[in-house]
Copies of this chain bind each other. A is one copy, B any other.
Amino acid sequence: MPVNLVAPEARSLLPVAGVELGVAEAHVRKPNRKDVLVVKLADGTRVSGVFTLNRFCAAPVLICKQHLAAGTGIRALLVNTGNANAGTGNDGLARAQQTCEALATALQCQPEQILPFSTGVIMEPLPAERIIAGLPQAIANLKADNWADAAEAIMTTDIVAKGVSRQLEIGGNTVTVTGIAKGSGMIHPNMATMLGYIATDAAVSQPALDALIQHAVNRSFNCITVDGDTSTNDALVLLATGQAGHAELTEADADYLALREAVTEVAMLLAQAIVRDGEGATKFMTIQVEAGQDEAECRQIAYAIAHSPLIKTAFFASDPNLGRILAAIGYAGVADLDVSKLKLYLGDVLVAEQGGRAASYVEADGAAVMQQAEILVRVVLGRGEASARVWTCDFSYDYVKINADYRS
């Protein structure tokens, strides 16, 4: 069961001027479910994307990068679920290109003005003809207040649809930021995986938009892990239609910082939603590492904790098994770490210091924290000013069940 996560009400996902969304039941893999999404963008919309670093990146990821590099402006996104078009070689590229051509014809633009995204089973040929056959239905229901349907259309094994909106004022105009995402692990069973779309009607210069997405992703999607696996298809796209009516923002503007904060918050909540809906998750954990020499070592330690199957099963069992956390800190790879100087907290409870259990610690206090659905693990390294934070979930029987049974 997702941890403290419910699907957003349709009316809570606010339209973004210049963005229309339409969905179709195209039977990509299964009948009777929304599995194709078209997002139509007003002319002049600026687009920035970050994509998986996996060397086996999927065909649509390669094409997205090409089309963004072409610089002719993006007019639509085309997303399908049910098939990831990953591990499909040249044939996969050709099929993805066919879907772009079909949508470009329908929308009267160029194929390189379409960004394709696929999520679903790996190593199966993309049924391009079924996606293309579904396009008229998706185009027919294009509308601005369709974000909730869109959030649902991009789900794969997600239990709950994920979306969030924020508004702010810029130069007397109301600016909206709305985002949706899917994923319930950094990688799924044999699914591939994390997709996120955040749109705003703010006007932002391209360099500022590129900086903004990097800032937001570093504080959101790059801070989560369910199982440590990095998907072949991960993608986050930030769209700025420029229709809010204010002057274009650059990084030097004070309003840019306000927009950046709103977009980062939307990204963070979407990323956290992915962890809350993590496969088999019963707990939501924040791993916070403080007082390190630099952010890199803090992240290294946070991820060592967040990736340890031993720690994640202990959280599932509500077992305050501190030795496992100390061991993970110890093997994280910070070579000159002086373990006698660090402090470990579970919630507010000091559990370890001076290389061992804190004198004040009693197991009942740790156990009380471990019973909670949201748990903070704090490591204070005592060697600097840097910090990092990672969100993850526990590791349950259901994780094994979901991943062992998925294809059968």
Contact = CB atoms under 8 A, between A and B. Distances in A.
Contacts of A403: 309-310, 313-314, 317
A89 B309 contact: no
A339 interface: yes
A257 to B, nearest CB: 33
A329 B55 contact: yes
Contacts of A319: 404, 406-408
A357 B399 contact: no
A187 interface: yes
Contact of A322 (B123, B314, B329, B339): B123
B187 A310 contact: yes
A337 interface: yes
On chain A, which size bracket covers the interface? 35 or more
B337 A55 contact: yes
A336 to B, nearest CB: 8
Interface stretch (A20-28, A168-176, A228-236): A228-236
A347 interface: no
A339 B189 contact: no
Contact of A404 (B307, B317, B339, B405): B317
A354 B93 CA distance: 13
A84 to B, nearest CB: 8
Given A316-B400, A329-B56, A395-B400, A309 B228 contact: yes
12 contacts: A54-B327, A57-B330, A86-B327, A89-B354, A189-B324, A228-B309, A229-B309, A229-B310, A230-B331, A232-B323, A313-B400, A397-B400
Given A56-B329, A86-B327, A397-B401, 8 more contacts: A54-B330, A55-B334, A56-B326, A185-B310, A189-B324, A230-B327, A232-B330, A313-B404
Interface of A: 53-57, 84, 86-92, 121-123, 185, 187, 189-190, 192, 227-232, 307-310, 313-314, 316-317, 319, 321-324, 326-332, 334-335, 337, 339-340, 352, 354-357, 395-397, 399-401, 403-408
